[in-house]
Structure 1
Amino acid sequence: MNWSKYILLLLPPRLRFIRLHAFLTVLLSLVVSLYDQFRSWQARKKMQLSATPQAIWLPKIVWEEMGAKIGIEYSDGIPDFWVIVYDDNADIPRLRTLIERYKLAGKSYRIKLQDETITQEWIDFVCTSFEYRSFFNAFVCVDSGLINNYIAITAGIVGLRGIMALLTYPAESEINISLTYQYSSGLLNTVNLLVAEQERSSTYELSPTEPDIASIVQAEILYPEGGVDNKYKYIIDIS
């Protein structure tokens, strides 16, 4: 949530001064902190509820809960899988509690540190099946394939009394940009600037009675959500 913009929108236009905005931001800092803690708790609970008993989920759960890196190695016998601990300072009792909570009922496991070596010997011939699997010991970043499409936001262009948004490439989808700018008197105002699909630019012109813009304070992409679509990642550049 954008608290700065939320406070600004609740203020009457004639009271949108930077000092008053900063004062209200300080007053609400405790509320913002509590809200952030709630969102963190909410995200953690959603992750716990979405987790399945599959062992492949365990590295993510352990990382989210206690910040320790582990790996999973499956076995054809007993135990059903090994939990490899890559953090020498990991809290093993807490790790064991997490695994017991989330593993599939009836599945057995053993915990070993990264540097430990486990050997097994058979006293007779055994039948084995060959199955090749690949596992990652940490989270892997995958290239999304999106192209960076920069949006230059400029005020005071020659021949234009207002604001212009200029894209590097034509927009793949309609873009809605929330702009907050400041007059020389210190008052702030917020408007929405739309860039149509397959267009590279858009302008917002001031009314004849509106004072000149001193500076652009903030710019945020409201749509597409997250500033991305199927082709581009849109990045705002205020100049």
Structure 2
Amino acid sequence: MDWRKWIIERLPEKLRVTGMIAVCMVLTLPIRMLYEEFVTWQKKMRTKVAGTPQVCMLQKIIRDELGLDVRIEEGNGKPIDFIIKTTFVDVDKERRLFALLDRYKLAGKSYGYENAGIMITAQWTGFVCELANMESEWTGFVCELKGKRDNSVEADVLGYGFDLKVTAQYPVSEPLPIHFKVGSETTERTVHYTSTKENQAVIFPVDATGGNAIVESSVRLGITEDDEYVYEFRLI
């Protein structure tokens, strides 16, 4: 709107002088500013009301609202219906862009987003493992992996140290080594315990030539676990 012309047309001919026109322009400044704001708001509202999900309209709305040039490409619909491509680094504008897209896109449509202005860098300070796809096929029965049971093993020195009694809570099919020393011997002796039922005791006679007996503190279990059990050993 030409405000100068509008003011001159409303002044009497005798008052249409430069000084009076300047005074009127100053006095109408607040009204002119309000009018310009109203025109801007009106234009924006008309754009919103007339907005459609067409590609050209979406691009125009984004350009007018955010000052961004975007390119919209068609997706394959599984699951993206269209792709927004642009280049900028303003995070606030990115949020506003998503809000505009959600407002004007067709209901039920989905979109992807590609921003060439954002770069992500990463630095590895250790080993990097390669990610690979692996396929497996079972052609027979698959056995369930079960945890090992605890099996309590007890040893008792009998007959003044000339016999060694060993008992296990559960049957032991694989030979279980029991080590011990006799008298002042420096080399350990070993017996192997097996059983077929629970709490089955086996007594091992010890050759104690010269009257040397088993050193109780030296009796120990040779292993802590096998394929079936985790062993807990106790000397009684």
TM bracket (short chain) = 0.3 to 0.5
Q: TM-score, length-normalised on structure 2? A: 0.47
User: Using CA pairs below 8 Å that are at least 6 residues apart, which structure has the higher relative contact order?
Assistant: 1
Decide which structure has the larger Cα Rg and report it. 2
